[in-house]
Structure 1
Amino acid sequence: MSIVQEDLAVAPGLTWGLRAVTEAAARAAWDCIGQGNKCQGDRAAIDAMGDGLDRLGINGLLVIGEGSQEESPRLYSGERIGDPAQPPRYDIAVDPVEGTSYLAKGMTNAMAVIAMAPHGSLFDPGPAFYMEKFAGPPQVRGLIDPDSPVEEKLNVLSRTLGKKVGELTIYVLEKPRHRDLVERLHRAGARVALYPAGDVAGAVMAAIPNSGIDALMGTGGTPEGMLSACAIRAMGGEFLGRIDPQLASEKLAVLEQGMDIQRWWRCEELVTSDQVHFCATGITTGLLLEGVERCQDSEKTHTMMVSGTTGERQFLTTYHRLRKAGAD
């Protein structure tokens, strides 16, 4: 029986199919690393990911895509994948290049990411582009009060993980909006891992016990937050998210849709089914994944696959044979 014919609830093999999609996107973006044009790399990855989804033969709805149809003619939010005459079976979240600006600069943590869950199970953030997040390992699930001060969150992590506060490492995006957060973390004695991009990688690592990252805190993209929530739901970790508009126009759009910007959403509310599948392939080498490496006759990719149906996570290194020019 093919992946297409199986129900998601009993199809851990779907994760294996999705990895071909993220690997294709990462390989397509490789040529644009350090070339200074973020749109070029993003477009190459979008086309490759879209082609891969078409070949997979699924029937789904892109809940988290590349913006509106006006912004991206392919893989836009609301796009139907597969037969539009049939009701969607899956909700899909994609980020063909997580970290487009940093891909263009040849910097760390760029990767291609996709997640899929039964239709109706993914939270639709609408116009919300930014989200404040907390991510942590399974040990702290249900123990973190998202409205508590940073210092109290550190104390809960310390008690639960059996570490001194000074031994905790918190992943934070290196942004001006996080200056106060970083100062408070340092004053409390915690270590801070600052990265210019890659909060999906940071959140996923925070959910993996003994990864070297004990938690993620701060505000980043909402699409990245939803992708992180999918992976963390599958792994049984902790993820909390609050819509956190950074621009006046975004805040107005969010409020017009009746969204509560004070409410913290738990992982189980953002992703209501545990039958979720997540894949990420490194484009540039980062904290979680190695980047694409091109040799004379092959390309190496490094992919993380997580299946909510089995609770398994796998890291796969693949060598793809390069077709020679003129070959059939």
Structure 2
Amino acid sequence: MDDRNLALELCRVTEAAALACARLMGRGDRDAADATAVEAMRRAFDHIDIRGTVVIGEGERDEAPMLFIGEQVGKGWVREGSKSPRVDIAVDPLEGTNLCAMGQPGAIAVIALAEDGKFLNAPDTYMEKIAVGPEAHGVIDLRESWTWNLERIAAAKGKSIDQLTTIILDRPRHEELIAEVREAGARIRLIGDGDVSAAIATCKEETGIDVLFGTGGAPEGVISAAALQCVNGDIQGRLRFRNDEERARAEKMGVPAEDHIYSIDELAQGNVMFAATGVTESAFLDGVRFIAGGARTQSVVMRSQSGTVRVIDATHRFETKPAYSWATGLD
């Protein structure tokens, strides 16, 4: 899987999702925003010459009408004898549904792509995570305390702990984590949603974020791993089941024991591609900005094979993009 053009095609898919759900920004309806992004992304896949299988999606077939786990996407499936590449797809059409619904910063549309069978087929449960940028690659360990990890990250980055900034989801389950980080002396940036963009922020010096700590979605952990593979970042994850039903489902999927620590290479292997488009403003990406007759978007496209990171500022003229009219409300 070395088609450079494919990575740019993925960007068109995230742009479509972002343009669609940005129309609903701030209207308070998270479900409508998410459904709009999902539909736009699904339709955009019809223009991509792949035989893709969704392994991280909106849920099981009976839970999601589209982009469900196991769904086949891409126009390569409809051609007999197609030689289009077979790939695994991980999607979050709108990461930060609440952020978009409330018009708050940090919502993005995300896709990751890997060679067939190279993504962990993560169950829809929680995952405890540590994510860092390239300078701290290889020094983190989820088996150790948060303080131990802060000490190692600080040493790797040539800082003291009180110069580190952690990013943590603002949830009641993180009360003890937050107390320990504060006791250790590190700064904390609490966020309401969006741990994929938070994980990636650890790799951008201008964000000021050194490490992501805490428990978020397992599917988001896989997507984060794909992005971090492209920039030599690092992530470890451990599944945290919420009930016996999730444990049984994971066992059926062949997932290792609950205490297994997943490395970045177990979460996302081989050559991977990642694309994201901002929906609302963030330190990671600009949000969609509607202008007369169109909109502006900002996206990032990354490939692990080359380590290339492209930031794409695009201007979309709706009257000249009939194929994407469904993403912009022109139907």
2:23 to 23, 27, 31: 31
Q: CA offset at residue 22 of structure 1?
A: 0.2
Are 1:132 and 2:131 an aligned pair?
A: no
Q: Is the 8 A contact 1:15 1:306 kept in 2?
A: yes
Partner residue, 1:308: 304
When residues 21 and 276 of structure 1 are mapped into structure 2, their CA distance, relative to the original with a 3 A threshold, is same
Residue aligned with 2:319, SS: coil
User: What displacement does 1:250 show?
Assistant: 2.5
User: Does the aligned pair in 2 maintain the 1:207–1:215 contact within 8 Å?
Assistant: no
Spell out the pairing of 1:241-260 with structure 2 (5 A cutoff). Answer: 241-255=237-251, 257=253, 259=255, 260=257
Q: What pairs with 1:22-61 in structure 2 (closer than 5 Å)? A: 22-61=14-53
Q: Please, which moves more after superposition, 88-97 or 206-215?
A: 206-215
Pick from 94, 106, 109 the counterpart of residue 109 of structure 1: 106
Picking from 80, 97, 100, the partner of 1:100 is 97
- How far is the alpha carbon of 1:227 from its aligned partner? 0.7
**Alpha-carbon shift at residue 323 of structure 1 (Å):** 2.1
The number of residue pairs the alignment matches comes to 317
Other-structure match for 1:4: none
- 1:5 aligned residue: none
Residue 294 of structure 2 aligns with which residue? 298
Q: Residue 50 of structure 1 contacts residue 74 of structure 1 at CA under 8 Å; is this kept in 2? A: yes
CA distance in 1, matches of 2:242, 2:86: 34
Q: Which moved more, 1:31-40 or 1:229-238?
A: 31-40
Question: Which deviations, in whole Å up to 9, do the C-alpha atoms of 1:133-160 show, x marking residues without a partner?
Answer: 1110122222222211111101001111
Tell which deviates more after alignment, 100-109 or 256-265: 256-265
Q: Distance in 2 between matches of 1:98 and 1:28?
A: 14
Quote the Cα distance in structure 2 between the aligned partners of 1:301 and 1:165: 36
Seq. identity, %: 36
Please tell me the residue identity of whatever aligns with 1:103: C
Following superposition, the deviation at residue 70 of structure 1 comes to 1.4
RMSD (Å) for aligned C-alpha atoms = 2.1
Report if the CA contact (8 A) 2:55-2:69 is conserved: yes
Of stretches 161-170 and 77-86 in structure 1, the one that deviates more from structure 2 is 77-86
Q: 1:286 aligns with which of 235, 259, 282?
A: 282
Aligned residues of 2:207 and 2:283 also touching (Cα < 8 A): no
Preserved CA contact (<8 Å) 1:207 1:238: no
> Is 1:90–2:87 an aligned residue pair?
yes
CA change 1:248–1:214 in 2 (3 A) is same
Mapping of residues 205-216 of structure 1, within 5 Å: 205-209=201-205, 211-216=207-212
Over residues 193-232 of structure 1, what are the superposed CA-to-partner deviations in whole Å (9 max), with x where a residue is unaligned? 1110111111011134564110101011112111100011
For the 8 Å contact 1:135–1:207, the answer to whether it is kept is no
Alpha-carbon shift at residue 104 of structure 1 (Å): 1.4
Q: Tell whether the 8 Å contact from 1:62 to 1:78 is kept in structure 2 after alignment.
A: yes
Tell me the alpha carbon deviations over residues 42-82 of structure 1, each in whole angstroms, 9 at most, x when there is no partner: 11111111111110121111111110111212111101124
* Structure 2: gaps (5+ residues): none
How big is the shift at 1:253?
A: 3.3
Does the residue aligned with 2:298 lie in a helix, a strand or coil? strand
Q: Return closer, same or farther for 1:172/1:257 CA change in 2, 3 Å cut-off.
A: same
TM-score by length of 1: 0.91
SS at match of 1:36: coil
